Amino acid sequence: MSEDVEQTLRQHGFQVTAQRIAILRALSSHPHATADELAADVRASIGSISRQAVYDTLGLMVDKGLIRRIQPSGFTARYEDRVNDNHHHLICRSCDSLVDIDCATGDTPCLSAGDDHGFVIDEAEVIYWGYCPACRGKAAPAKPGSSPKSSTT
Amino acid sequence: MSEDVEQTLRQHGFQVTAQRIAILRALSSHPHATADELAADVRASIGSISRQAVYDTLGLMVDKGLIRRIQPSGFTARYEDRVNDNHHHLICRSCDSLVDIDCATGDTPCLSAGDDHGFVIDEAEVIYWGYCPACRGKAAPAKPGSSPKSSTT
DNA sequence: ACCAATTCTGGACTTAGTCAAGTATTTGCC
DNA sequence: GGCAAATACTTGACTAAGTCCAGAATTGGT
């Protein structure tokens, strides 16, 4: 299994180092982890790693499309290794839990924006906000001034 | 015109203060501004304002649905006063320009997620990533290791 | 095994944002 | 219009996330 990770690294043009292997493995066991959480996980397996190495590696991997970085409003950056598989994220406003969600609409649904302003669009990132089963009852904090925010789409 | 802003504040249950009026007006002339940019703008019109007042006010206004906060990956939080009008955002990966974009798909399109995991979804936030007309030619930084990232949807 | 290129470390630094205590302003009421 | 209670604002210290830099260590091709 360590070989798989090594393979992946080489295929994407990375030098193979203990740190990178550890980061990648940490990521696959902790999807949606923050840089610090990954660092902690890596330290548990490797002994130690510098913060800089973590940020450098994650940054490079994101650039090469090996992993994905997400950063919803109010959260610090999170990373995941599910990539190129057409999924989105669903976040509970109350307890901050974050789950993956597959897009119902086929292959490139949301890519059809109205007027694209001349941009070449290569990705549509969707974040669904709401309340998870556990918080659904207890929370529902009836936003006072505003209408129930029906179709922010 | 100052009266409009006052009205809006009262309607949403706010006390009316010079700072709040100034923030709201700054926001309508600078859509997608950061907290610091707004503070600077307010200082230009009012003389001075504390950072805390800016954050407090923006936070309250977001809570009451008067304004919206967006924070794309790699950006600091931005605020806008277009609210409840079903629009999304389009960002250039190269020059970071950010434009509004209306959703083509009608009223509550992207709200139809596949399996909602039992969540009650009240908002679907969409961010389109790509290259603006100006950067389209010059940038296109041919992501090496990864396939052209066709349908991240 | 050696050398150049790449990567990692450690520490200082920056930026965005929060906390808490005290002061000022607003607003409802007389 | 004046007063008190509630609300808002200011100041300054603090935290967390992330960046910068220079030097040491590792990797991988020969």
C-alpha to C-alpha distance for B18 and B2, rounded to whole angstroms = 10
Two structure tokens written together for B18: 């010079």
What pLDDT is attached to residue A113? 60
**Using one digit for the tens of pLDDT, what is the confidence trace for B22-81?**
999 999 999 999 999 999 999 999 999 999 999 999 999 999 999 999 999 999 999 999
Mean pLDDT, range B73-101, rounded to an integer: 92
Q: In this prediction, what percent of chain A has a pLDDT beyond 90? A: 61
Which of B66, B126, B138 should be substituted to probe chain A, the one whose Cβ sees the most A Cβ atoms within 10 Å? B126
Chain B residues with CB under 8 Å of A125 CB are 73, 126-129, 152
- Model confidence at A136, pLDDT cuts 50, 70, 90, reads confident
Q: How far is the CA of A21 from the C1' of D12 (A)?
A: 44
Dihedral of CA atoms B31, B37, B38, B39 in degrees, nearest 10, equals 180
Question: DSSP strand E in A3-111: where?
Answer: 33-34, 68-70, 78-80, 87-92, 98-102
Q: Do A153 and B92 touch (CB under 8 A)?
A: no
A73 contacts B70 by C-beta, under 8 angstroms? yes
What pLDDT is attached to residue A145? 32
Distance from CA of A44 to the nearest CA of B (A): 28
What pLDDT is attached to residue A152? 37
Domain with CATH 1.10.10.10 in chain B: 2-70
Distance from CA of A151 to the nearest CA of B (A): 5
What pLDDT is attached to residue A137? 72
Mean pLDDT, range A52-66, rounded to an integer: 96
Worst-scoring range by mean pLDDT, A1-5, A99-103, A122-126?
A1-5
B47 touches A: beta carbon within 8 Å: no
Q: How far is the CA of B13 from the C1' of C29 (A)?
A: 19
How high does pLDDT run on average in chain B?
84
C-alpha to C-alpha distance for B61 and B9, rounded to whole angstroms = 9
Residue nearest to nucleotide C24 (CA to C1'): B17
B112 touches A: beta carbon within 8 Å: yes
Two structure tokens written together for B146: 């990864």
What pLDDT is attached to residue B151? 37
A137 touches B: beta carbon within 8 Å: no
How high does pLDDT run on average in chain A?
84
Q: Do A113 and B132 touch (CB under 8 A)?
A: no
Residue pointed to by tokens 């130690």: A48
**Using one digit for the tens of pLDDT, what is the confidence trace for A30-55?**
999 999 999 999 999 999 999 999 99
- Provide φ and ψ at A52, rounded to 5°: -60, -40
Domain A85-138, what fold? Dna Ligase; domain 1 (3.30.1490)
Question: Ranked by mean pLDDT, which of A34-48, A78-92, B75-89 comes out on top?
Answer: A34-48
The CATH number of B2-70, from 3.40.50.720, 1.10.287.950, 3.50.50.60, 1.10.10.10, is: 1.10.10.10
Q: In this prediction, what percent of chain A has a pLDDT beyond 70? A: 80
What pLDDT is attached to residue A51? 97
Chain A residues with CB under 8 Å of B126 CB are 110, 124-127, 153
Residues 6+ apart with CB under 8 A from A20: A9, A14, A57
Domain with CATH 3.30.1490.190 in chain B: 85-138
A139 touches B: beta carbon within 8 Å: no
Whether A149 shows a pLDDT value over 90: the answer reads no
What pLDDT is attached to residue A153? 40
Task: Name the closest residue on chain A to residue B143, using Cα atoms.
Answer: A64
Q: Do B64 and A143 touch (CB under 8 A)?
A: yes
